[in-house]
Every structure is written in C-alpha cells, then in structure tokens.
Structure 1
Amino acid sequence: MQNQFLNLTPPYSSRDQAKWFLIPAPFDASTCYRPGARFGPQAIIEASTQMELLDEELLFEPYKIGIHTTQAIEPVLDPEKMAELVREEVSKAIDQGKMVCTLGGDHSVSIGAITAFFNAFGPLNIIQFDAHLDLRESYQGSRFSHACVMRRVWDLGNPIQVGIRSFSGEELTFLKETGAKPIFAKDIFSDPQGSIDSVIKSLDKSLPTYITIDLDCLDPSVMPAVGTPEPGGMLWYTLLNFLQTIISNSNIVGFDCVELSPVPGINFPEFTAARLIYKVIGYCQKDKI
C-alpha cells in the first residue's frame, strides 16, 4: 500500500522539510446516498503515483516544495467526534508552520479542518466548491453531517459558495435570511468569467483564504465517483480557472478535497482528484520554489 502522495521519498516527503502536509481523513459515516468516501484518500494517493511531476501549465515541479503525507486519521463512527479528531491533527500541522490539504472522506471532515484554521488565523474567506449548499441545521439526526458543513462554519468568516445546483427549502430560507448569494452552476455555464469576477469581488482581502473542494462540484462526466452526483456541474478547465484566479488574488492558508467515492473498475476519478490536488499546490507555490 502506497503511503506517500506521488510516491515521494526524502527529502521531498520528509516531515521536517516538507512545506505541505496531506492529512488523510477516511470517513464516510455521514454519507446519505452512496458510501465509499472512506476509501477516497488511499485511492487518491495510489493514483498520484502515476502522475507526471512536472506541471504542464506552470512548467515547474511543485513537489520540490516538499509534500509529506501523514498517517491517516483513525476514523470513528460519530461525525462530531471525527471533526474534532481532524481539527486536532490539522492544528498540529499548522503549529508546525505547514500548509495543509485534508483528504476526505465525506465533506463532514472539513468542519474540523476549517475550525482548526479559524482557531489559528481568525476569520477566513471560506470558498466552497460544491453542487450542494450544505446549509442544513441538522440532517439524519446529526448537526455534523456532510449536509451541514457550511452551516457549522458559516460564522467563521466570509463564506463564498460556488457551483451550486441543488438545495432544500430549509436552505433557501437560510439564504433569504442571511442575504447570501451563491454562484450557481447555471450562471457559471452562462458566464464563466463573470462568475469568477463575482467571486473575486466577494473576497475580503484582509482575510486569509481557505478552499474546500467537494468533488461533486464537477460534472459527473468528469467526476462520476462521488457520494451525491448532480448533473450540470463544472468542467475541468473551468474549475482550474476559478482556482488559479482565486489563489492569485488571496492568501491561501489551506484547502481540502473531499467526497471521492471510488467506483470499482473505473480509475480515472481518483487520478483526476490527485491531479486537482497537485494543481492547487502548484498554484499556491508558483514562484516560491
């Protein structure tokens, strides 16, 4: 079993020298439709070993900044307890001066990761790429469900939601009460550059930025292996354009990539997820190597 992203070896995978920590959080006890996200982190790590180390767009090798993959967090059944375990591990990495990518696992693991960054840095721009609002107060008896992620972190800064194309009546009421204006998937389809500009205008430049990527933000034709797929999502280069522009216009402190639920016999989704993670690290480290 491969345990280092990109199959890196020291010094590039060294805990002490690496700039980035990847923290696997193999948890899916809050999944409501198709389970399997607990297998996502390992599938991503395995797929990453088949990637080229040179970024074809940036024309440098991001791994040289150092990427250490930590031991996976031992999952528990309770989403709230799991969120606390994630918070503890991410906080340890932050205290060591590391940039952190948390690998889900279902989206509930992001609650702990975002809370850790809030505790360390104060209010954040929290940019959520997702098909769903995740703004329910509670779902299936848990306030820490994957469907409640953004509700739990809503007051931790400046939330910006991108790629939305499915939500409940309860969530619509919350939007009206708060005045929040998500960037809907249909608007991205109609005006991709205008949608990117809207996100940039919504950023509070005085705050550090955290990005949470639920892979169901992508269209199922690009990313079918997710817990709750929705038609009409973003395509690969559209998402990359968003990410590169956001990262160029803000101070990124960390991100997560969640909800990969591997499908037996189809391996391109985990490869896509691994590429996406490496892309984000590359965008963050451009001109820093």
Structure 2
Amino acid sequence: MMRRIAVLDAPTNLGLRPPTASSVPGCAKAPGALRDHGLLARLRARDAGCLTPPRYDPGDWRPGDGVCHAPEISTYSAALADRIGAIIDRGEFPLVLGGDCSVLLGSALAMHRLGEAVGGRIGLVFVDGHSDFRHPGNASYVGAAAGEDLALVTGRGQPDLAAIEGRRPYFRDVDVVVLGIRAQDEYRLDLQAAGITTRPVPALRAEGAARTAQWAHEQLVDCAGYWVHIDVDVLDPAVMPAVDAPDPGGIAFAELEILLAGLVDTPHCLGVELTVFDPDYDPDGAYAAEIVNTVVAGLAPVVAPGALPPRLLPSGPVAPGPRAGNGRPERGAVPVPAVAVDPIGPPAAVDGSRPGEPALPWQPAPDAEAPGAAVGPGLLRRVAVPDADTPPAGDGPPAADDPA
C-alpha cells in the first residue's frame, strides 16, 4: 500500500505588495507552471482542484493600516483549511501549490483544527530563506502577510489573521522548527528569544540535509504530527532567482531534495506546501522544470510501495529535563530517514547532475554530508541558460514580501 498525494492549487498573491505600481505579483501563476511540467502525472497524484483567491486589489492601503488584504486573506485561509482537511480526511497526503507564503495561514488553521480533533498538537517545519517573523512587537508597521506568516501562525499580529475562528496560536513556538534562513536574518534574535528552534543555512550545510531532517524530527517528537512549509527562496538565487525576494547564501536543489525526502519519510508528516515561485521571472520554464524534478524526487517516500498512511500520535508534554544545544528540552531520537529515489528516474547526484548528463565542473567532496564538512558551490545544480529577458543570478524582482 502507498500513500496517495492530492495536489491542491492555492494561487493566492494577496500576501505580497505589488512589484511595480502597475503590476501584480506573478506567484499566482506558479501552480499552472508546475502542472505544465507534468507534476501530477509524475507523482501519480489526484487532482484536488484549485481554490481561487479573491481579487488582488490593495486599494488605498497605506503603511500603518495593518496587513493589506487582511479580510480577503482571512476568508481565503478558512476556505483553504476546509479543503486541506477534506484531503486528510480521505487518508491522502496534501501537496498545496501556492501562491505566496500567506498560504501558510490556511494550512496552519487546518492543522490546529486537526490537532483539536485528535487531542494533540501539530508541529510545523518551516523551510524558508527568510524567517517571515515581522510583527507589531518588532516592527514599526506591518503590511505584507507573506513577510509575516510565521509571526501570524504563532499568534503574533492582528486577530483577524492570527486568531481565525478564535484559534490562537495555530502552532506553539516550541512546536516550530525553522530551516534554511540566512545567518544574518533580521529576526533571528527574536526567534531565539521566543524559543523557536532554527537551523540557518551554514549549520544545515555543516550537518547535511539528511541529518537536518532527522534533527527536525527529533525536535517535534512530542507532536501528534507536523506540516511542512517550503518557500523556494530557501534556494540560492544562483539556481533559483525566480522569487519575489532572492537572497544570496541559500541551499541547492540537491540539498532541498534530500531534506524534503527526509521530512516526508514518516507517517507523521501530514502534508507539504510550496510557495513563492514566480513564473514571470522564468520565461522559458527552466526553473519550473527544476522545481518539479526536485519535488518529485523529494516526495518519492510518500508514494513508495509500503509507505505507511498518515498516523497521528498523542502529543507528549514538554517536560523539564536535559536541555538540547538550542535551549529546548532534549527530545527522543528517531531513525535516520531514507533518502528518496525518484520513481520516474534515477536520483540526482550530489552536484545536481543526473545519470547521462555531464557532471558539473565543480565536485563536492564525497563526504559532503559529514558534520563539519566544507560545502562549496558544487551543490548548486545547473539549469538551462535562460534567455536574455531573465534576470541574471542574484538579481530579481524587489523584495515584495516587505511593505512599500
């Protein structure tokens, strides 16, 4: 028996500010672009349809007015939570295709409802290049929900978004693990003060993606299950510039593939969402193809023969005791998750090339996954050379998840 994936489109761009005065964020086109590259067929997934968002219209919003599009995001989040809950009720594994990071509010609401139903807490693995932890307590004003989503789902911010249906917080701080933020993230000290566990890119690379997935499991062992949020800006802009806020110092496609495979290779992983890819910055589809290859390989454990159905465990208390290096209670160990094998073809090599393709000119050391190993640019996967209209590596659209 295998778990079946159900793909749900959530093409909202309500959480971003306009890239220019006369345009709207292009991430709403992401689900269609990924489907065009055969994502559903390659995953053998059920098509769970599309939840159409309200119209993007900032109107006369100004800084100090609160989160832009807040009423629309709140309504959309409740509807998205309904759709995710229905997929889980069928015993399926939801893959939600955003859209911007405000998608997380709907997923978080669904997880809170589920936790309440089973009498346990649901955790969150937050894989993102930015902490998205801006809130009224640490910023002069808020505005773009996609730059504030982690703060909102942990109960920080205006009630119409942080406490939909009177639920607050959707995730407790102690039940959140943040992976892939940059070492210089603006809110890293706020995360530390809140007790939210983080592993920035330098530590992730030093420990390796597979060990990082194991470590994330260990942090959430007291949860009944967990949800995985992936913002593709966790990738380095040298390989993924097609996002609203590219930031140097990210991970590679091969690392994301291994990390995702480790996170989903357990019945306690309840689903995954993918956000922020902007096809407007991918005119020839090269980056969409890379994302699809990575997601298909990373989700292989979900559809592998013998994969166990979703399983919710009773939540354990966060008891006092020996402390881990991050200041949180030491958790029980779990087995190292298996690395995925692409059901459609062989897995990528650690440098991102695949059998039959020329190896990249740089090669990481064979023990690049060993703790403390130096990992250089050899993990950055090469993609087709984009045409002249595509922004060069490191360039891209303005940081649209920050309010104007």
Same fold (TM over 0.5): yes
Residues 247 and 95 of structure 1: is their aligned pair in 2 closer, same or farther, counting only changes over 3 Å?
closer
Corresponding residue for residue 288 of structure 1? 306
1:153 maps to which residue? 153
C-alpha distance in structure 1 between counterparts of 2:95 and 2:266, whole Å:
19
SS in 1 for 2:77: helix
Q: 8 Å contact 2:264–2:299 — kept in the other structure?
A: no
Q: Distance in 2 between matches of 1:71 and 1:243?
A: 23
Kept in 1: contact 2:261–2:299 (CA 8 A)? no
Instruction: Trace 1:126-275 onto structure 2 (pairs within 5 A).
Output: 126-137=124-135, 141-142=142-143, 145-154=145-154, 155=169, 156-157=171-172, 158-165=175-182, 167-168=185-186, 171-192=187-208, 195-204=212-221, 206-248=223-265, 251-262=268-279, 263-275=281-293
Cα distance, 1:85 vs. partner?
2.3
SS for the counterpart of 1:118 is helix
Structure with the larger helix share: 1
> How far apart are residue 255 of structure 1 and its match?
0.8
User: What is the distance in 2 between the residues matched to 1:206 and 1:123?
Assistant: 5
Gaps spanning 5+ residues in structure 2: where?
20-24, 57-71, 155-168, 308-404
Q: 1: distance between equivalents of 2:46 and 2:213?
A: 31
Shift of 1:176: 3.6
Residues 102 and 146 of structure 2 are in contact (CA less than 8 Å); yes or no, is this contact kept in structure 1?
Answer: yes
Once residues 196 and 295 of structure 2 are traced to their aligned partners in structure 1, the CA distance between those partners, rounded to angstroms, is 28
Q: CA deviation at 1:221?
A: 2.0
- CA–CA distance in structure 2, aligned partners of residues 167 and 30 of structure 1: 20
Question: How much does 1:273 deviate?
Answer: 2.1
- Partners of 1:172 and 1:37 in 2: how far apart? 26
Q: SS of the residue aligned with 1:167?
A: coil
- Once the two structures are TM-superposed, the CA of residue 175 in structure 1 deviates from its matched residue by 1.8
Instruction: Trace 1:29-44 onto structure 2 (pairs within 5 A).
Output: 29-32=14-17, 34=19, 35-44=25-34
Which one-letter code corresponds to 1:146 in the other structure? A
Which deviates more from structure 2 when the two are superposed, residues 216-225 or residues 238-247? 238-247
Structure 2 counterpart of 1:82:
76
Give the CA RMSD over aligned residues.
Answer: 2.6
Out of 210-219 and 171-180, give the one that drifted further: 171-180
What is the distance in 2 between the residues matched to 1:283 and 1:265?
31
**1:128-178 alpha-carbon deviations (Å, 9 max, x no partner):** 110011112258754x7011211222342511000001533xx34532431
1:108 matched residue in structure 2: 102
Q: In the alignment, is the contact (CA less than 8 A) between 1:33 and 1:228 conserved in 2?
A: no
Q: Deviations over 1:43-85 (max 9, x none)?
A: 1101226x994xxxxxxxx52xxx1223311111422222222
Task: Describe the SS at the equivalent of 1:288.
Answer: coil
**Counterpart of 1:119?**
113
Contact 2:229-2:273 within 8 A present in 1 as well: yes
TM-score normalised per structure 2: 0.58
Distance in 1 separating the partners of 2:90 and 2:263: 25
Over 3 Å counting, the alpha-carbon distance change for 1:179 and 1:285 in structure 2 is same
Match of 2:178, SS state, is: strand
Shift of 1:250: 5.9
* Distance in 1 (alpha carbons) for counterparts of 2:300 and 2:41: 13
Identity level (%): 19
CA contact (8 A) 2:4 2:302 kept: no
Please identify runs of 4+ aligned residues in structure 1 that moved more than 3 A.
138-142, 193-198
Question: Hey, what's the Cα distance between the residues in 2 that align with 1:26 and 1:52?
Answer: 20
Output the CA distance in 1 between the equivalents of 2:93 and 2:292. Answer: 17
User: What's the TM-score, normalizing by structure 1?
Assistant: 0.79
Q: Distance in 1 between matches of 2:216 and 2:89?
A: 29
Partner of 1:15: none
Question: Larger strand proportion, structure 1 or 2?
Answer: 1
Q: 1:43 to 1:188 in 2, by over 3 A?
A: same
* Structure 1 stretches lacking a partner, 5+ long: 1-17, 54-61
CA deviation vs aligned residue, 1:101-151 (integer Å, no higher than 9, x gap): 110000101210222123124422211110011112258754x70112112
Aligned length: 257
Q: Distance in 1 between matches of 2:41 and 2:77?
A: 33
Kindly state the Cα deviation for residue 266 of structure 1 after the two structures are TM-superposed.
3.1
User: Is 1:125–1:204's contact at 8 Å kept on the other side of the alignment?
Assistant: no
Bigger mean CA deviation after superposition, 172-181 or 183-192:
172-181
Q: What is the CA-CA distance between 1:288 and the residue it aligns to? A: 2.8
Deviation digits for residues 14-36 of structure 1 (CA, Å, limit 9, x no counterpart)? xxxx9321110111122147421
